[in-house]
């Protein structure tokens, strides 16, 4: 089948569809839009932009798109307040998150922009308390061993990491998962390009920004990533991922235990111009 179908009765030959096509798969002639190559990344821009609804694309069917009368735009003060008020949550209420809420969160995350519309991010979700505790225990087993290697021994991290180990062994303090009731682990195929790791961060940004609207708090943390990235088998055995998949990040999810009352400042803005 042809890549695109055009309703010539509706088409005004404005050419916008060809202008927004990032791969140049759509061109124009006297009759209107036409496919000039099959190199379509299925972004859906051409179908979404047509003011007359005259264009259909076999990869992003018009029937699957939702008519948008006007894109919602927050005023700048509201947008700035919303973005500045987002906090990384490290203290969670002791109650589970319904799976339907996690599905709601990730269903928004999948709409994040990705390099070349490559997408490719899946999610491995763990909400079993015993498995979560097992992940934390595996991490500290790994960290104790890692602290004896040249990579960490004598490094600036040795003191703080050793303190974390001691606090966990003596007091059960979990700085890895923060006792979160749910862990979302984005995964991608091992053979994918490095850009898929960037795709992961884009999707998690969407998840973190959307989470407060459904009463959830989130936090991205690096401890888990370091351990998983090292290929530590006891941890990977607990995760039980498909053999062709690799971990790219992690997101703790739960109900925030506390509410933040103030906006925190950051380092002064630094900008250079040419």
Detail the DSSP E strand segments found in 52-113: 55-57
What's the CATH code, domain 80-254? Answer: 3.40.109.10
Q: So what CATH class is 4-64?
A: alpha beta
Determine which of 23-32, 60-69, 221-230 has the lowest per-residue pLDDT on average.
221-230
- Binned at pLDDT 50, 70 and 90, residue 1 comes out as low
Domain segments of the chain as ranges = 4-64, 80-254
Q: How many CB atoms lie within 10 A of CB 137?
A: 16
For residues 54-73, average pLDDT: 93
- The span from the CA of 87 to the CA of 269, in Å, is 19
Instruction: Convert the pLDDT of each residue in 36-52 to its tens digit.
Output: 998 999 999 999 999 99
Q: Does the pLDDT value for residue 72 go beyond 90? A: no
Q: What DSSP line would sit under 169-221, residue for residue?
A: HHH---SSSTT-SEEEEEEEETTS-THHHHHHHHHHHHHHHHGGGGT-EEEE-
- Residue among 76, 80, 44 nearest 62 (CA): 44
The pLDDT value given to residue 155: 86
Instruction: Convert the pLDDT of each residue in 187-215 to its tens digit.
Output: 999 888 788 888 999 999 999 999 999 99
Contact in structure between 180 and 253 (CB atoms under 8 Å): yes
């Amino acid at each position: 089948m042809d890549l695109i179908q055009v309703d010539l009765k509706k088409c005004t030959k404005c050419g916008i569809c060809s202008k927004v096509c990032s791969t140049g798969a759509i061109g124009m002639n006297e009759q209107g839009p036409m496919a000039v190559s099959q190199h379509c990344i299925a972004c859906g821009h051409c179908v979404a932009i047509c003011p007359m609804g005259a264009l259909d694309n076999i990869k992003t069917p018009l029937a699957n798109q939702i008519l948008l009368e006007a894109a919602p735009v927050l005023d700048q003060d509201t947008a700035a307040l919303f973005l500045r008020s987002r906090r990384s949550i490290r203290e969670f209420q002791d109650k589970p998150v319904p799976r339907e809420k996690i599905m709601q969160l990730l269903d928004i995350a999948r709409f994040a922009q990705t390099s070349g519309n490559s997408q490719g991010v899946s999610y491995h979700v763990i909400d079993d308390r015993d498995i979560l505790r097992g992940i934390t225990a595996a991490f500290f087993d790994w960290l104790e061993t890692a602290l004896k290697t040249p990579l960490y021994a004598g490094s600036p991290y040795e003191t703080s990491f050793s303190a974390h180990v001691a606090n966990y062994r003596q007091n059960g303090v979990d700085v890895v998962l923060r006792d979160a009731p749910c862990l979302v682990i984005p995964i991608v195929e091992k053979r994918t390009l490095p850009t898929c790791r960037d795709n992961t961060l884009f999707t998690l940004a969407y998840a973190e920004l959307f989470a407060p609207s459904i009463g959830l708090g989130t936090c991205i943390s690096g401890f888990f990533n370091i351990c998983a990235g090292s290929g530590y088998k006891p941890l990977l055995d607990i995760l039980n991922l498909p053999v062709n998949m690799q971990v790219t990040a992690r997101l703790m999810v739960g109900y925030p235990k506390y509410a933040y009352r103030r906006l925190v400042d950051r380092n002064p803005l630094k900008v250079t111009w040419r």
